[in-house]
Structure 1
Amino acid sequence: MIKIGLRVIKTAIGGTVAIVLAQVLGLSYPYAAAIITLLSIQDTRRKSFDVVNQRLKATVLSLTIGSVMFLVFGFNAVAFGLSLLCFIPLAVKFNASEGISTSAVLVTHLLGEGFISGALLLNEVALMVVGTGVALIVNTYMPKMLGRITDDQDQIEEQFQTIVGYLVDKIHRHTDDEVNEQKLFSSVKDLLEGAKTRANKDQENYVLIEVSYYAQYMEMRFLQFDVLARLSQILDKVKLNSKQETILANLTEQFTRNLHDANNTVDSIAESDKIMEEFQNQPLPQTREEFVNQTLVFQYLNEFHHLLDINKTFFDNLRPEEKVLTQALVIKESISFIEKIAIIKNAKKFKKNLKYCYQKQLPITDPKVQELIGVWNKFTIEVQIHDMLEEIEVMSKELNLGRRNDETDLQEYFKKIIKESNKMY
């Protein structure tokens, strides 16, 4: 059976609407609007906006150059070729290459008419506006992907636990099945590739806000997957004694405790450093085999440290509002994505208002302070309070570095207004 996808349906609807709208507006060459719509509908909203922006720039550029060439050299094929010779390099230079084909079609309308007028130029611009406008409107609908992405996240973490369990068994020499290992790593890689594609596509569907958490998360897991594969390869070569087996197995099992919390790696990294230091203080190897094995053990520890460091780097690179609201944004499944976005906006608003109120030393009765208290009361329901208190502490250190001794700090100011608000209400 022939499968008709959503993009095909949107293209068919958009092309039809574009023609009808162009005809209603009385535009010449109305069918060109449908072609422009067809070419402007993209896989994501952000790509559509980018393509539309390029097409609009290219339209102005091509009509300007084409008009000049036709007026100077006449309405003939040579003038058209010269206009393309000038237009195409300039379109590339001004990042409007997506509009080259559609704009060239519009210029042929001028060639076909054999004259230049304000009404004709306006007609061509209107065709582009109708075509791209309809494309943007029909592309506002995108299927929701967040549920699938969170399912991907759960499956990835589950499969990572399976891989870690396999590595632990490998350390203890409880497994020697290369076929199953290849199948395991291959299936996880396929899962990661699909999840990364969906996360990047979902990120591209947000135009007015930046939603990059899941794209960064999938990139982190991809990097960790490569490390896990290298750890498995090291275990194929090394020969461990019973003490080394116990130490490496216990350390490797710790990784599963950090899977659900990207910020819970500090203790594991410290433990990894401690074990590396202990191995460095061991007696020097006496034989070539001992030297090779000790080198491989160090390599395993270094790779494992890198595995944990990827987690830490991921958390450190999150935007401030994502760090503070990690529980609400990622782990807390009881709230919808729209509610999570609202929490992010409230967090930004809260920090901005708190800074303003503190710098102005506004009293409890000021509307800005009342608004601040309202946002705070909403936070006490939606997120863990201690997360916001930690953020306030960070802000306090940043704002109070240059304060005079007779000034109160931000934390004291905040505690004061909250205390006063409790008395009022």
Structure 2
Amino acid sequence: MKIGLRTIKTAIGAAIALLIAEAIGLAYPTSAAIITVLSVTNTKRSTAKTAIGRVLSLTLALAVALICFSILGFHAIAFGLYLLIFIPFSVKFKLSEGIAVSSVLITHFLSDGRFSWPAIANEYLLMIIGVGCALAVNLYMPDTEKRIQEDQLVVEVIMRDLLQEMATYLNQSSKEAMLFQMCQSLADFIKEAQNNARQFEENRFVGANHYYFEYFAMRRLQLRILNNMLTILQDLSATEEEAHELQELLNFTSETLAEDNDGKVIQEKIAETNQKYRQKDLPDSREAFENRAQLFQLFQLFQEFIEIKASFHRQQK
């Protein structure tokens, strides 16, 4: 049985919250521990957001409970009316995550049969201690930036291999079905890497940016283009002469594809290749015309593939 880091932090935070609540003599001290358990999330930002939401939720709950209990007394019917009003308002103000926790704290007033300033302060302190301990234990997060950078390298290596294989099979009648499997495997890998990047960025309060997340989003877009190119490539039967220019582009890109490559050089080569295609003689048969049209489609998709990377670099400046 494996015990994760979040479980360990939750256990430590809950124990500390209970000890603090007992040490300062709060009523219902176990509530502070339960609040901690419910407030430890996967990232620092989400925990902070949860903490603020819980305090705001308690404020709304107290206002609604004060009205309901003052009118109907401290009875089950009053608590039912409180829920009938509190839940819709919580949803409206996007505080629904705090419904259960706040309502448990409100039951303390129901048990005591009265409202008082010390009792209200007690509930706020329970909430603050609970979410405060959750925030404290979540201040430690393992640094995953190195892993994300390694994921970038993996993506680039596989993309280079894909481009190289596409160049190899461009003018061959027998296509490699493994290329589609490579695309699917890479798509799954990028999706997981992008989730890791999001989590990494949400664990940074200072100097946070979305570079890694946007980087993997850019590679996902490029991969979709490659997949579309493979669909065309599967039915293409171009001659070596017809496919030569595009093969050169694919091979050059496979050799130079990297995170810091802004795509300017390859865009210049694309412009040169486009000019060469325009200067070629028109096809003299239906089959040659269809091959030329498919090559042109591939060429256009490849332009889009490069433009996605170039646009990403422009946005990062």
Interval containing the TM-score (normalised by the shorter chain): over 0.9
After superposition, the C-alpha distances for 1:242-295 in whole angstroms (9 at most, x for unaligned) are 222210110112223542244531232232234334434545545443332222
TM, length-normalised to structure 1: 0.71
CA distance 1:277–1:256, shift in 2 (3 Å): same
Tell me if the contact between 1:14 and 1:34 (Cα under 8 Å) persists in the aligned partners.
Answer: yes
What secondary structure is seen at the aligned counterpart in 2 of 1:211? coil
Aligned to 1:270: 268
After superposition, the C-alpha distances for 1:45-93 in whole angstroms (9 at most, x for unaligned) are 1111111111111011101111111011111122112212222222222
- Structure 1: segments with no counterpart, 5+ residues: 324-425
Q: How far does residue 211 in structure 1 lie from its aligned partner after superposition?
A: 2.5
Distance 2:258 2:161 in 1: 15
Tell me if the contact between 1:171 and 1:235 (Cα under 8 Å) persists in the aligned partners.
Answer: yes
**Identity, % of aligned pairs?**
34
Q: What is the aligned counterpart of 2:212 among 211, 214, 227? A: 214
Q: What amino acid is aligned across from residue 16 of structure 1 in structure 2?
A: A
What secondary structure is seen at the aligned counterpart in 1 of 2:166? helix
Q: What is the aligned counterpart of 1:250 among 229, 248, 251? A: 248
Tell me if the contact between 1:276 and 1:298 (Cα under 8 Å) persists in the aligned partners.
Answer: no
Aligned to 2:58: 59
After superposition, the C-alpha distances for 1:115-152 in whole angstroms (9 at most, x for unaligned) are 01111111111110000000000011111101111111
Q: What amino acid is aligned across from residue 144 of structure 1 in structure 2?
A: D
CA distance 1:295–1:115, shift in 2 (3 Å): same
Aligned to 2:194: 196
Distance 1:288 1:185 in 2: 32
- Structure 2: segments with no counterpart, 5+ residues: none
Matches within 5 A, 1:160-179: 160-173=159-172, 176-178=175-177
Distance 2:72 2:278 in 1: 81
For these two proteins, the number of residue pairs brought into alignment is 317
Distance 1:113 1:16 in 2: 26
Distance 1:8 1:92 in 2: 29
Aligned to 1:317: 315
Q: What amino acid is aligned across from residue 21 of structure 2 in structure 1?
A: A
Aligned to 1:339: none
Q: What amino acid is aligned across from residue 273 of structure 1 in structure 2?
A: A
Tell me if the contact between 1:22 and 1:127 (Cα under 8 Å) persists in the aligned partners.
Answer: yes
Tell me if the contact between 2:170 and 2:233 (Cα under 8 Å) persists in the aligned partners.
Answer: yes
Aligned to 2:18: 19
Tell me if the contact between 2:17 and 2:129 (Cα under 8 Å) persists in the aligned partners.
Answer: yes
Tell me if the contact between 1:258 and 1:265 (Cα under 8 Å) persists in the aligned partners.
Answer: no
Distance 1:163 1:313 in 2: 22
Aligned to 1:103: 102
Aligned to 2:288: 290
Q: Does 1:76 align with 2:75?
A: yes
Distance 2:24 2:179 in 1: 64
Q: Comparing 243-252 with 203-212, which one deviates more in the overlay?
A: 203-212
What secondary structure is seen at the aligned counterpart in 2 of 1:27? coil
Matches within 5 A, 1:227-376: 227-280=225-278, 282-318=280-316, 323=317
State the structure with bigger RCO (CA 8 A, min sep 6), 1 or 2.
2
Distance 1:182 1:251 in 2: 20
Distance 1:52 1:286 in 2: 72
Aligned to 2:88: 89
Tell me if the contact between 1:169 and 1:175 (Cα under 8 Å) persists in the aligned partners.
Answer: no
Q: Does 1:187 align with 2:185?
A: yes
Q: How far does residue 167 in structure 1 lie from its aligned partner after superposition?
A: 0.7
What secondary structure is seen at the aligned counterpart in 2 of 1:207? coil
CA distance 1:93–1:280, shift in 2 (3 Å): farther
Tell me if the contact between 1:15 and 1:37 (Cα under 8 Å) persists in the aligned partners.
Answer: yes
Distance 2:159 2:277 in 1: 27
Aligned to 2:127: 128
Q: What amino acid is aligned across from residue 218 of structure 1 in structure 2?
A: F
Distance 2:162 2:173 in 1: 14
Aligned to 1:350: none
Tell me if the contact between 1:262 and 1:314 (Cα under 8 Å) persists in the aligned partners.
Answer: no
What secondary structure is seen at the aligned counterpart in 2 of 1:116? coil
Aligned to 1:399: none
Q: How far does residue 213 in structure 1 lie from its aligned partner after superposition?
A: 1.3
After superposition, the C-alpha distances for 1:182-205 in whole angstroms (9 at most, x for unaligned) are 442233223212211211110111
